[in-house]
């Protein structure tokens, strides 16, 4: 009778498989942790980052949780996202403050203007709360569009071609940082100040976007203080931050514009502030498309 000997699995293979289980578990845990971290980071950043995976990340944790984190009062009783962006950057040397400052006085003050992007400050305002009507990433992309819009501003507001192009370029840069339509920013400047960087109102609003410096002193701190309100690059940045916060807080572009004006319950109509801004925005869009300036 022939005896068949049973061959057992080599012992070394069993030992290898048993020893590999622990490292594989650690690798799996690390990958899972990394995935959760990336998803959470995208979720907190919001769509303002233009991150394609944000929609997936938003499914993992309800948006209501972020709303709580960035609520007006915050978790710790602070003002939350509406004004917290001032804490994102290091505080610059504080300029001597006054209740108001004239353009002449501003010219006499040595203002330190750092090359400071406001993208980080703007990111503290939840992007998913921004009305899509306030966002347009396709405006003023070509040199031809910018030249036509520049000529429109020169003709209508009697400003110099160099100033006109400077405001357009600045609006385009700031719009990227705050994720708003650059033509919307230009329209606000047009209605607020007619592109006069030294404009002042009786209420204390100053500069291109007519920012109330006595109300928003803290927002000028990264730029050296309220003396910078008459510097176009600063005024546009501060105004754009306030506008984005107003739109997010109010829930729509039109309501946000009324809030920016300081009159949330302002009446609507063809002559209202919101209608004038939106009408000017449409005129600027038409100009960018190459249509003639019928309204000038």
Q: With bands split at pLDDT 50, 70 and 90, how would you rate the model's confidence at 155?
A: very high
Asked if residue 67 is part of any domain, the answer here is no
Q: With bands split at pLDDT 50, 70 and 90, how would you rate the model's confidence at 97?
A: very low
Q: Is the pLDDT of residue 157 over 80?
A: yes
Give the chain's domain count: 2
Residue 29 sits in which domain range? Answer: 15-45
State whether residue 267 is helix, strand or coil. coil
Question: Which token pair is 111?
Answer: 């203002």
Between the alpha carbon of residue 204 and those of residues 75, 102, 126, 241, 258, the distances in Å are 33, 10, 29, 19, 18
pLDDT given for residue 74 in this prediction: 38
What percentage of the chain reaches a pLDDT higher than 70? 57
User: Distance of alpha carbon 236 from its chain centroid, rounded?
Assistant: 12
Report the mean per-residue pLDDT for the chain.
75
DSSP assignment, residue 74? -
Tell whether 117 and 171 lie within a shared domain: yes
CB 186 within 8 A of CB 171: yes
- For residue 156, the domain's CATH number is 1.10.530
Q: Is the pLDDT of residue 135 over 60?
A: yes
Q: With bands split at pLDDT 50, 70 and 90, how would you rate the model's confidence at 136?
A: confident
Write down the pTM of the prediction: 0.65
State whether residue 205 is helix, strand or coil. strand
pLDDT given for residue 11 in this prediction: 54
H-helix or E-strand containing 190?
helix 182-193
Tell whether 30 and 143 lie within a shared domain: no
């Amino acid at each position: 009778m022939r005896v068949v000997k049973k061959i057992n699995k080599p012992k070394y293979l069993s030992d290898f498989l048993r020893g590999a289980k622990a490292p594989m578990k650690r690798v799996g845990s690390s990958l899972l942790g990394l995935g959760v971290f990336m998803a959470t980071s995208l979720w907190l950043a919001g769509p303002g980052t233009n991150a394609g995976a944000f929609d997936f990340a938003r499914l993992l944790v309800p948006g209501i949780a972020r709303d709580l984190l960035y609520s007006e009062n915050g978790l710790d009783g602070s003002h939350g996202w509406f004004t917290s962006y001032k804490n994102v950057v290091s505080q610059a040397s504080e300029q001597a403050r006054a209740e108001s400052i004239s353009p002449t006085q501003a010219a006499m003050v040595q203002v330190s203007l750092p090359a400071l992007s406001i993208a980080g400050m703007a990111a503290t305002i939840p992007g998913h709360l921004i009305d899509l009507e306030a966002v347009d990433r396709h405006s003023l992309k070509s040199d031809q569009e910018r030249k036509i819009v520049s000529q429109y501003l020169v003709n209508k507001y009697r400003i110099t071609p160099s100033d006109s192009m400077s405001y357009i370029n600045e609006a385009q840069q700031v719009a990227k940082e705050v994720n708003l339509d650059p033509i919307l920013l230009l329209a606000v400047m047009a209605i607020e100040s007619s592109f006069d960087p030294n404009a002042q109102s009786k209420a204390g609003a100053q500069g291109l976007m007519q920012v109330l410096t006595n109300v928003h002193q803290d927002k000028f701190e990264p730029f050296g203080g309220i003396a910078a309100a008459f510097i176009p690059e600063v005024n546009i940045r501060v105004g754009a931050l306030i506008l984005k916060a107003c739109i997010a807080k109010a829930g729509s572009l039109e309501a946000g514009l009324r809030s920016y004006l300081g009159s949330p319950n302002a009446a609507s109509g063809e002559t209202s502030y919101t209608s004038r801004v939106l009408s000017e925005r449409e005129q600027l869009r038409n100009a960018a498309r190459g249509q003639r300036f019928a309204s000038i």
